[in-house]
Structure 1
Amino acid sequence: MPIEVVDNAMEGRFEVLVDGKVAGFAEYRLAPAKIVFTHTEVLPDFEGQGLASTLVKQALEMSGDTGLRVVPLCPYVASYIKRHPEYQGLVDGSVGG
């Protein structure tokens, strides 16, 4: 089953697609030079497949590639960054994380 992560800027969220269908999303708000992650959700039919990790990993990488500093208000994004210290460098210094 093909899995893809896309930035749906019109909706203000990264989406994880499974076979072309939205299976989950990580909502964000843009601020000057920052991306504020506010909520991550995987739809019930797709839970337990590791999609949240795939989604957040790709969202962090895409954000870093554009030079945005990450503000992890979403508890899942914050815990993902704590478990994967290679992403600590993306976190905005004015935010504890």
Structure 2
Amino acid sequence: MKIAVASTDGKVIDLHFGDANRFLIFEIEDGEGKFQEMREKTPLPLKEHTERWIASIDLINDCKAVLCSKIGKEPTIELRKLGIKPIQLDCEVKKGIHECSKHLLS
């Protein structure tokens, strides 16, 4: 199962979902997160806030969860419609992935 992480440095979950220009993608195997790839938004000027979070959803639509520091109500609803669990955390990426894997695999 894939999860997306919004992080500026790959160490700490520190980005708002809509503000993230990239997501780190991890594959959960045996309760461990294994880094797979980094996905970046196309560098087009997105004028409206809605465009920014829609672009984020398009980028991670094959993931089961997304870890971010904050997320708004509208993107939360849209993610859930796609079966993607939005999880707000303010911690290290490694710890967040571990907690997420325990929750999703239980």
TM-score between both structures, scaled by the size of structure 1? 0.36
TM-score between both structures, scaled by the size of structure 2? 0.34
Question: Which structure ranks higher in relative contact order (CA pairs < 8 Å, sequence separation ≥ 6)?
Answer: 2
